[in-house]
Structure 1
């Protein structure tokens, strides 16, 4: 998005889907209701985040299967599925099934690397094969080949009354082209571009120096994110037309109550210290949450180097708010912030 004359083309949202472990049903139902609301408001996409062994949605693909039957138009995505927890063949079957059920609306986002808290979960997740598991980019390529319809078996044919296929069933044409990679580093962004994938960027990047390894005195999240986007497109066969979606946390307050505005400000302030310097051994840098009126947030986004390079977004909802807060935020994004960025809601139905 080089200047303000170019409108935001696609607007989506991302949610974690919190629930009460003592009564998880209402939380899952609330997430489905939020996706339904997103469709009514004209959002182009709704995305779910994985939360394994936590009180957030652990199986987004299953939830999106349910969402596919309660919506007709809005695209449905995962941002992101950590492939370290998945068998690519079984995941390919699940993704293809949901894509068929949704009429071709699924956008799987994936990432690689060892599962979070690997030392704590390895005995349960891979009791016999932990040392042999490959958590590299090769896991993405396995999934991509299977989604494209390349062989998953050396046999196809009929045995007795049963017929067998040598590739994933059902086959979902076009699904492989809707595979996204969640990159945190320039290396990952470049690799995703070389593979012809789509790129998901978020509110987290890896703090990396310049080409000579120089570390700045003050880290600039927007500049780091822009460098990743530029590296991705430079490596992608589609060049500047390669798809990139940005996922910052935005909290418009236009229709919020006084109590909500106070809550939102406190939430952002509590998370602000982590945006100043890289965090942890992974040297992760977090973007500040954007809180304010739609006009104020739009002004900040127009000046954001990462946002200037995209024409589609999936704004992330805060993790710990109540359902009424999410309704207010989502409504303000669709009716105030989106239009301030030049976006027009999709037609219903």
Structure 2
């Protein structure tokens, strides 16, 4: 059993493309529809709206202006990222932007960070002005930046004040500060070793539909092992409270001929391949009749071990389609996972 009440939210990449059938032909369409879908998710009674951040592609990139706009249109649901590639970030600028978005939201920000995943650009972070020092990896770079970011949002002094063309004794902090934000930082881990490191660091754990390792066991079992190692490391490190864990799943209920034409041929099984030189395991999709999906998710050990389930949405199908899909999940699938909608939504959905 998870130590936290079950939460369910959606995760969007915010793809846009002027292709046949796309409801997001432009970046503006993708951005505005993401805001609308967050409002719809809150109306339905879901618990969160999360953004996947990529660069140099037709998808969501700089998250904080969008998160602030989502915050202004909602009042209850969690808003977050899953995840931000820290190799591209200036830690102090990010600390300012994150604090502003969190204050606008009233303390609802849940920030998922990571070393990133494959991008369309070759060493794209170098175009942003960042380079791994000799002898260090991009994973080292991402972790160093994360350490600076976490220190800044906890109020660590950064730079001395100017005392008449000379430095003062005290150090200035990044402003504004957002109380509690430091306790809502997550890390996207792709391996069991990284999950152990996350627990040691006292961050919450995000695990997606990709693990950059493979032991031959089904994806859900490998991910559940990752979650157990994370919790053990958290406890051993002596961190206060109970950590949170999220997993992502592609859940596509089929309730119409249109759904069947889109998703009826999904393989619904794990895939194994080589990614960045490592044998990796990709999690299956869950498509089919809602009652069958509900039972299959009940049998997924990682879904059962996590307190938060993020549903990846096919955003190019538009707000109306995705809202209807999320409502189907909320009504017919999520209750089997011991989830209940927010009380205020029960009379509206």
Q: What TM-score bracket applies, with the shorter chain setting the length?
A: 0.7 to 0.9
Q: Shift of the alpha carbon at 1:300?
A: 0.8
Query: In the alignment, what sits opposite 2:294?
Result: 298
Partner of 1:312: 308
Distance 1:112 1:35 in 2: 26
What residue is the counterpart of 1:247 in the other structure? Answer: 248
Q: List alignment gaps of at least 5 residues for structure 1.
A: 210-217
1:74-98 CA distance string (max 9 Å, x none): 1100000000111111111110000
Picking from 3, 13, 17, the partner of 2:14 is 17
Q: Secondary structure at the match of 1:277?
A: strand
Equivalent residue for 2:160? 154
CA apart distance, 1:28: 1.4
Distance 1:219 1:278 in 2: 14
- Work out the CA distance in 2 between the residues paired with 1:55 and 1:229: 32
The superposition leaves residues 11-70 of structure 1 with CA deviations (integer Å, 9 ceiling, x where unpaired) of: 111111222476322221111110000010111111011121111111222111111111
Q: Which residue of 2 aligns with 1:278?
A: 273
Residues 200-349 of structure 1: pairs in structure 2 closer than 5 A: 200-209=206-215, 218-236=216-234, 237=238, 241-253=242-254, 256-266=255-265, 268-269=266-267, 275-280=270-275, 281-318=277-314, 320-348=316-344
Tell which deviates more after alignment, 88-97 or 114-123. 114-123
Aligned residue pairs, count: 327
Residue aligned with 1:99, SS: helix
Alignment partner, residue 215 of structure 1: none
2:73 aligned with 1:70: yes
Question: 1:205–1:73: structure 2 CA closer, same or farther, 3 Å change rule?
Answer: same
| Distance in 2 between residues matched to 1:246 and 1:305, nearest whole Å | 11
- 1:197/1:130 Cα in 2 relative to 1: closer, same or farther (>3 Å)? closer
CA distances 1:92-133 after superposition (whole Å, capped 9, x unpaired) = 111000000111011110002687356353552228x56568
Residues 205 and 130 (structure 1), Cα distance of their counterparts in 2 relative to 1, 3 Å cut:
closer
Equivalent in 188, 195, 217 of residue 189 of structure 1: 195
CA RMSD, 1 decimal: 2.8
> Counterpart in 1 of 2:95?
92
Q: 1:28 to 1:241 in 2, by over 3 A?
A: same
Contact 1:48 1:78 in 2 (8 A): yes
- Cα offset for 1:260? 1.7
* Structure 2: gaps spanning 5 or more residues: 19-24
Higher strand share: 2
**How far is the alpha carbon of 1:190 from its aligned partner?**
0.5
The residue number in structure 1 matching 2:52 is: 49
1:32-47 to 2 correspondence within 5 Å? 32-47=35-50
Distance 1:126 1:115, change over 3 A: farther
Q: Which runs of 4+ in 1 moved over 4 A?
A: 129-134, 156-159
SS in 2 for 1:170: coil
Native 8 Å contact 2:56 2:121 kept in 1: no
Residues 1:166 and 2:172 aligned together? yes
Relative to structure 2, which stretch is displaced further, 46-55 or 21-30? 21-30
TM-score (normalizing by structure 2): 0.85
Counterpart-to-counterpart distance in 2, 1:153 and 1:246: 38
**SS at structure 2 position matched to 1:231:** helix
1:294 to partner: Cα distance: 2.5
